[in-house]
A and B are shown apart, each in its own frame.
Chain A
């Protein structure tokens, strides 16, 4: 290999090679951090929620008829809707709930072990009918499920909590049978079961995995009655229209809104998805610009050395020797650039994380960036470098 001559060339053309090294380095720093951000957003979107996302629908019955203000009318309507929903073909189960998980709106409360002197810990709370775990598809790992008898006039006494919240409340992890209170010790709740995993209402919240399910009969004239419906796989999208029409047929004094949980989640995460797309476009443009730069500089250095190439050819170098010489030179420059760039990538990440919230740079993403840029740099150089094969040995004797 002709490392000797290459190094000497590099030394004589310091500026040009420093420029291209810096350009590749900066590109890697930016691409590495953008890819890191993309993965950070993706992880948030794709994090398992514990819910049977693909088959769930949210149904809201929003009353406007004054009838709903009459004693018992709202509750009767809730029961009637539940019955209708459960009887629909394609519906596996249905239950009422006070807010839709992952939707960005809901309620939160603070709880602590009964009698504890500590501060309360915040958690999302859902009032819901006793069938809720079966509808959501969340898994019970300890204790028992809610049952009809848990639904009482006062706010549910027996409750389910997620494992994440149980671990936060009780160091020893034994939560079943224990009592919890909010700020005041009156009306404590008893934990009867633990849910393995369930995400609450606010996907951006650090404690998204803390959830308490309180048995009840949720619904109000002001905010309507909400249901979660679990469809037989494959029927989810079809049910959107069917449910709206069927429920309106039974009672037209209200509006009915039906959305798949997938759509709701997409809505909640729309900024993250938009950010991912923006970053992808940015990365594409940046790589394009850098590739153009490499094409330009390589083309220039080939033209500049036409005579030298001619001389080498005249002295017996084959076309492939010349091509190899330029490719090795290119490879060497990009490698130096990528080494510097790795350092820069970490520096930029440090800067970004200290100014704004963000994820630490992951080394394997930097490595992926290195490999991609290696290939890009090689491909970009290939065009101008292959032009050297058209330089004839005779050109050594001509004046340029």
Chain B
């Protein structure tokens, strides 16, 4: 029966190809636009590391001004980074499966003089655990081991793009690279890796360019590397590098992987004890306000998803509604125009249900065609949005979005078709037979 209805629907569409094309195009626009913006929102708000996001925790503690909290709007908020001295104390814990203090800087990288001028690269200073903790994919080699953190050893992990730039994409493990004033040895080359949003350090934009070079955190002192990210302070943070490191300025991101509730509880205890010990020394005079934020809660706190993204979703769904209304009007006209034909079919014994089903299926055939065309349009749309934002983020459809698009198409076909189909099946056949 279904095949029969679909065949009839196809015949009906072919009878008036221009009108049919117009109808399909109308629904395709609606699906195309809404799929584009729903996908954009989906990508901007998705979990960047789904398999581990519940166990990775961003650490916050309140070292702020006793007289005035971190945020004037939210008294419960804690400062969004930690100080150097606190980060170093937290790194002494053995509780987390993995943990790393980290920050971003910009340092000169010196390629082979034949390959080009020195250039400033986005450098991340972090601990060995950074790579296993965030499941960073390697093309060649691996991260450095924990032993290299202490001294620190001059080892470097470079991004795929940096490897292209410096070594033409060849396996560069063991090759030297001059960074700032020192020579480092390449131990790892990443596969293309761009977590979006850049959850581990979204302070300079959740869509910031990926890091290019990774070196052990402890070069912070011997190389006097200042942060290239945000620094906030409520107190004078000193003039010399040593004074700055001892100050209350916050500029370091602290992450810990805590796999079990037990581990999390222990780590929380450890944090609380540490802050209490600092309070005893006269620091951190605000009430205890330590936070262990899983990835999604952390992204929510920083507001990684732009508000506009939601506005566009709302607007694009209303757009789809307009397209559906449009469809109702056109289908109503199209169906009622064939009332005499339906009158004959009814008189020959077709049930109301059969007529209703026939028309609903015709609508769904239109909707599926519109949906497929809409998906093609949304591929264009996503390309356009990506270009408009200058490749700030890369957007593409995934299967869940394709399924959603088809679902939306079927639903709008049903909504748009139900009334016209009901109208046509509920009319009395006699009137139309007479007119013939």
Q: Write the residues of chain A forming the contact surface with B, with a CB cutoff of 8 angstroms.
A: 15-16, 19-20, 22-23, 26-27, 29-30, 33-34, 37, 62, 64, 66, 119, 183-184, 222-223, 255, 270-271, 274-275, 277-278, 281-282, 285-286, 288-290, 292-293, 296-297, 299-301, 303-304, 348, 351-352, 355-358, 399
Residues of B within 8 A of A (CB): 19, 22, 25-26, 29-30, 33, 65, 68, 72, 108, 110, 117-120, 181, 226, 234-236, 306-308, 310-312, 314-316, 318-319, 321-323, 325-326, 328-330, 332-334, 336-337, 384-385, 388-390, 392, 419, 423, 435
Q: Given the complex of chains A and B, what is the CA–CA distance between A319 and B315 in angstroms?
A: 42
Cβ of A270 and Cβ of B325 under 8 Å apart? no
Asked if A281 and B30 make an inter-chain contact with CB atoms under 8 angstroms apart, the answer reads no
Q: For the complex, give the distance between the alpha carbons of A34 and B235 in Å.
A: 45
Q: Are A29 and B318 in contact (CB under 8 A)?
A: yes
Q: Tell me whether A296 and B322 are in contact (CB under 8 A).
A: no
Check A356–B33 contact: CB distance below 8 A.
no
CA distance A3 to B110 in the complex (A): 82
Could you list some 17 contacts between A and B, CB below 8 A? A16-B332, A20-B329, A62-B108, A66-B181, A270-B390, A271-B306, A271-B392, A282-B33, A282-B316, A289-B29, A293-B325, A293-B326, A300-B333, A300-B337, A351-B314, A355-B310, A355-B314
Shortest CB-to-CB span from B117 to chain A, Å, is 7
A356 near B307 with CB under 8 A, answer: yes
**Closest Cβ neighbor of A254 among chain B residues:** B118
Please tell me if the beta carbons of B325 and A352 are within 8 angstroms of each other in the complex.
no
CA distance A255 to B326 in the complex (A): 59
Q: Are B119 and A255 in contact (CB under 8 A)?
A: yes
Of A20, A222, A292, A356, the residue contacting B308 (CB under 8 A) is: A356
Instruction: Indicate which residue in B25, B72, B234, B385 contacts A278 across the interface (CB closer than 8 Å).
Output: B385
CB within 8 Å for A37 and B329 given contacts A62-B120, A255-B118, A292-B26? no
Q: With a 10 A CB-CB cut-off, give which of B329, B334, B388, B389 has the most chain A CB atoms.
A: B329
A120 (CB) vs chain B CBs: closest residue: B68
Q: Do the beta carbons of A278 and B312 come within 8 Å of each other?
A: yes
B333, A19: Cβ atoms under 8 Å? Answer: no
Q: What A residues does B336 contact at CB under 8 A? A: 304
Task: Check B385–A183 contact: CB distance below 8 A.
Answer: no
Question: Which of B26, B234, B311 is in CB contact (< 8 Å) with A358?
Answer: B311
| Contact between chains at A293 and B26 (CB < 8 Å) | yes
Inter-chain contacts of A352 with B (CB < 8 A): 311, 314
CA distance A183 to B234 in the complex (A): 8
What is the CB-to-nearest-CB distance from A365 to chain B, in angstroms, rounded to a whole number?
Answer: 15
Closest B residue to A186 by CB, please name it.
Answer: B236
CA–CA, A51 and B332, complex, Å:
60
Closest approach, in angstroms, between the C-beta of A366 and any C-beta of chain B?
Answer: 16
Chain B residue at minimum C-beta to C-beta distance from A271? B389
Chain A residues within 8 Å of B334, by CB: 300
Known A-B contacts A23-B329, A222-B226; the reply to A292 vs B22 at CB < 8 A is: yes
Contacts of A274 in B (CB 8 A): 385, 388-390
Chain B residues, CB < 8 A from A285: 29, 33, 319
A290 to B: closest C-beta gap in Å = 6
A22-B325, A64-B108, A184-B236 are contacts. A293–B311 as well, Cβ < 8 Å? Answer: no
Query: B68 to A119, Cβ gap below 8 A?
Result: yes
* Chain B interface, >50% SS class: helix
| CA gap between A288 and B204 in the complex, in Å | 39
Residue of A nearest to B230 (CB): A105
CB distance from A308 to the nearest CB of B (A): 15
Task: Kindly provide the distance from the CB of B140 to the nearest chain A CB, expressed in whole angstroms.
Answer: 27
Assembled-state Cα–Cα distance A77/B278 (Å) = 44
Known: A62-B120, A351-B314, A356-B307. A26 touches B325 (CB 8 A): yes
Instruction: Knowing A37-B311, A282-B33, A286-B319, say if A296 contacts B118 (CB, 8 Å).
Output: no
Could you tell me if A30 and B236 are in contact, using CB atoms closer than 8 angstroms? no
Query: Once the chains are docked, how many angstroms separate the CA of A33 from the CA of B318?
Result: 12
How close is A351's CB to chain B, nearest CB, in angstroms? 7
Residues of B close to A348: CB separation below 8 A: 318
Contact partner of A255 (CB less than 8 A), chosen from B117, B308, B333, is B117
User: Given that A183-B65, A255-B118 are contacting pairs, would A289 and B311 also be in contact in the complex, using a CB cutoff of 8 Å?
Assistant: no
CB distance from A221 to the nearest CB of B (A): 9
Are B323 and A19 closer than 8 Å at their CB atoms?
no
Cα(A29)–Cα(B318), bound, Å: 9
Given contacts A289-B30, A293-B330, contact A30 B318 (CB under 8 A): yes
B308 touches A275 (CB 8 A): yes
| Cα distance, A270 to B321, chains bound together (Å) | 30
- Are B333 and A297 in contact, CB atoms less than 8 angstroms apart? yes
The residue from B310, B329, B384 contacting A297, defined by CB atoms under 8 A apart: B329
Q: A23-B326, A255-B117 are in contact. Are A282 and B315 (CB under 8 A)?
A: yes
**Are A26 and B318 neighbours in the complex by a CB distance under 8 Å?**
yes
Given A290-B322, A292-B326, A351-B314, residue A281 in contact with residue B390 (CB < 8 A): no
- Chain A residues, CB < 8 A from B389: 270-271, 274
Tell me whether B315 and A357 are in contact (CB under 8 A).
Answer: no
A341 to chain B, nearest CB (A): 11
- Measured between beta carbons, the chain B residues less than 8 angstroms from A357 are 307
> Chain B CB within 10 Å — which of A27, A33, A304, A356 has the most?
A356
The docked-state distance in angstroms from the alpha carbon of A303 to that of B333 is 10
Contacts of A275 in B (CB 8 A): 308
Q: Known: A16-B329, A119-B68, A274-B389. Is A30-B119 also a contact (CB below 8 A)? A: no
CB pair B326–A183 under 8 Å, yes or no, is no
Beyond the given A26-B318, A282-B319, A292-B326, could you list 17 further A-B residue pairs with CB under 8 A, ordered by the A residue number? A15-B419, A16-B329, A16-B332, A26-B325, A64-B110, A271-B389, A275-B308, A289-B323, A293-B326, A296-B326, A296-B329, A297-B333, A300-B334, A355-B311, A357-B307, A358-B311, A399-B435
Closest-CB distance, A4 to chain B (whole angstroms): 25
| Minimum C-beta distance from B287 to chain A (A) | 19
Return the chain A residue nearest B436 by Cβ: A399
The CA-CA distance from A23 to B320 in the complex, in Å, is 11
Check B322–A23 contact: CB distance below 8 A.
yes
Contact partners of A23 in chain B: CB under 8 A: 322, 325-326, 329
Name the contact of B329 in the complex, choosing from A64, A293, A303 (C-beta under 8 A): A293
Taken together as a complex, chains A and B put the C-alpha atoms of A183 and B306 apart, in Å, by 33
| Neighbouring A residues of B108 by C-beta, 8 Å | 62, 64
A289 in contact with B322 (CB, 8 Å): yes
Q: Tell me the minimal C-beta distance from B8 to chain A in angstroms.
A: 21
Residues of A within 8 A of B316 (CB): 282
Residues of A within 8 A of B119 (CB): 255
Residue ID in chain A nearest B419 by CB atoms: A15
Nearest B residue (CB) for A66: B181
Using known A-B contacts A15-B419, A275-B308, A281-B384, determine if residue A296 contacts B314 with beta carbons closer than 8 Å: no
**B contact residues around A277 at 8 Å (CB):** 388
The distance in angstroms between the C-alpha atoms of A66 and B108, with both chains bound, is 12
